[in-house]
Structure 1
Amino acid sequence: MKSDTKYLTRNDSGVWMFRRRIPEKLRKYFNSGTFLKQSLETKSLTQARVKRDALNAQIDLKLEEEKSGLPLKNRFQALYSEMKPHYDEGRRKVREGKWDDNYFLDSFDPDLQRKENDETYKAAYYSIVHEDVPEQYRLTISELTQEWLKANKGIKNAKYSSTVETASKFLIEFLGGDELPENVSPGYAQGFLDSLIAKGLSAGTVSHYKSKLAEVWRWGLTRERFTGSNSWKDVKVEAPVEQKEQSHFRNLTTEEAETLLKETRLEAMNSESWPYPFATYALPRLLPFLGCRRSELGTALKDQVQEHDGHYFFEVRKGKTKNAKRIIPVSPVIEPLLLDAIARSGSSPWLFPEVGEAEGLTPEQALNSISSKVSSITRNFAKIEGYKVSLHSLRGHFATALEEIGCPEDLAVTLAGHKRISLTYGLYSKYSNKSELWKYIEQIHRAKCMQAWVSS
């Protein structure tokens, strides 16, 4: 019996080589000339045959794709998705005793449907019957990601989709290749997250990547794009102690503040790819004069801006601590911008609708995106004695400004939300301290630390 050595030759060292003529239209895929020549890196004929068959499968798949004009994995998935519900319905009715046989077998049988020469059709049919999808038709991680992106275009916003792509790219790099999703075990998933933390990524960023990959896996499993389980369900993002410790922030220098204000100009933020232009412009300009936490202002409703006796007040209804509820007088310097925000919000109840009504995200997640945008501007600012700069730093400017203009400490901490609630509600209900409050709020722009905002 003649030995099976088709497409196989041996070099002088005894290593088996693969050699096959490649049709001209396929050469671009294999970076080859008339023949594809490749070492199989083995002296074993048995191993050489296995590697040869794998290469032949790749070539034949590409050849069939070129003939049909449709990527075969896509066509396979389309056929599989079309046939599978009929097969499942037939099995159910057989179990319930309503049918004697599963009509699917006759209705879709390749021979009866004259599809005996359609390899992709036959593969989809027998994959359903035998419950085993051939590897060449299984989606890789990058292919699954691209299917998810295509299916969710117009459903998820650009930021969300971009994070999905980044997470997928990092995962493939970690695995050392474009693996099948079912090959990513919980152990590999946990190792991937741990590697990102080890590289210095924040626990928040890694958590975003984990959630996006979990969503892609969930989407793929429910649509039977691959088999197995969601490897991301039970893995955890475990930040080191130094990341868990509270971050400390410093005020911006005048030069840094000018840079931040320049980089967040409204015309610079307006682009099709950035969904939060006005909020990104307004928050860095409002926060230093209100002393709010970013979430207190960024997720506010517009009816939290109240007018009383010709003055405007901002009502903080909930916040990070139990003392956060308070009323903050609005400086005349930012009054036009705050009123502009209300006018822009239209019929929306949110002060910043692009945050409150962010597509596919909670308001807090949208704020995280804005904070990341600001951090991309401030990350090159110097870290002095361990203190860094971020959107949260602007809250410190408010406290520093009050101190510079001589505001009593007990009044300053009330405005910042650090005293008991009864004081702030007394202020709101009776406005008994309005003269004393306005005495300082009307002067806050005179503080040296506010110079960049006043001159911009």
Structure 2
Amino acid sequence: MPKTDRPRNLNIDKRPNRYLAVHGGYWRVSMAVPKELQAELGTRLIRGLNTKSVAIARMKRGPVVEEFKAKIEAAWAARGGRKRSVLAEAVEVRKLMSSADRNMADFLQQGVDERVQEILEAGGVTWVEVLDEDFGGPSQHPVYTPEAIEEARTFRSVAAGSATPIALHHAEFMASLTIKDRSKLDEPRALSLLLDWMRANEIYPFIENVTPQVARQFERYLQSSTELAWASKAKYLGRLKVYWAWLKKQEFAKENPFYDLTVKKQVAEAEAEEERPYTDTEVQRLFMGEPLEGRAMLDVMAVAALTGARLDAVICLKVGETDEGLFRFKKQKKEKHDRDVPIHPDLYEIVNRRAEGKGPDNDLFPEWPKAKPPSVKPRSSYFSKRFTFYSKKIGVRDEVENKRRSLVNFHSFRRWFITKLEHEGVNGDLIAAIVGHKRGGLTLDRYSSGPKLQAALEAISKVKLPPLDGTPVVETRGLKPMRRKP
């Protein structure tokens, strides 16, 4: 075949910038994660190098690459090893052992002994002469490498069932969960956090190695040594607690070492500022700004602001879920049912424009599609990132030191809507019914079909966006004090 002018493959091992990529003008290390491990580690491992110089990036790359490779190997070990690895072989032998009769078990044990010897010899052997009094003279004895001894010991322990890779049963555990896909993302994150800590402390990732003492050490590390917010620390510890409870129930673990562990809330963190509603001035600036996505973003913002619905519920609306002057929002978080919310009169133009010429199963906001598999991120994930970029660009933020999220964010539209309803004198139970919160008392919450739609429409219609022509806004104040920005 004649030669072509096809570009060279830049991803070969010899390229000088292997594992390096530029983002925002700065170099960073970027390493692909094997498909089998992406649930735990994500699609890529990325670490910024804080330099615009490629020469400096090349010098700083080495330790990060080694750390990433060790992280990937630890993840493989936790799952039971790479395909055709010694560890994966031991897991297969273990499965055969568990269902073998006595004769077959004896045969398999003989195979294990032979395989252990092969592993020891494959690592390299040195013969030394040792005086053996029983034989009346010197004899040759093999000396194996420490690495081979450790690998052989691991093979024997896993094959015998006395050592279990931590993530060996994690896929089965995940399949048993009935929580939303978005919440399931916390499971591998929690496990990855534990595995990183175990790797740093040279604790092999076996279930049997996570004793109550080890679990307490991890809890202390989580408490004092990570930059996570308290809520995230408590969440991840809770997810590990649930996983080990399942392992114990399935008899894969003898105990739940996380059972009585909790992450205490620091005094300073307990007294930290809470996230708050937007002010009318902030709402005005958000709607008068010019997001790159134009109406695609502004329309979502308008529906959220004038219904109090959560972002994912808005983004996922179908055209057929806007019939009869009602939004049919899918249940969110702890809600037990879908709910109908009257469409605010100021939203008719948006709904009619977006529904025109479309079928009932078409998306109302097709500009914000769902992430492609294998990602299980919520459909609203990309919008959320773009909205954060937009709000930073126009300065509608309320940042607090050592707090990951701004005190105002997209969810502040929901808080703003609820605040406006209360300021208009709307009954608290009616507000709760409109926004999907639990209403007061068993009678209303379980036995009633809800308030009249007309009452809800009248209440919602009282909420108005601030003037969008630049007219100065006169803020209405609630009884709850607002933080004074520095």
TM-score scaled by length of structure 2:
0.44
Q: Which is higher, the Rg of structure 1 or of structure 2?
A: 1
TM-score scaled by length of structure 1:
0.47
Q: Which has the higher helix share?
A: 1
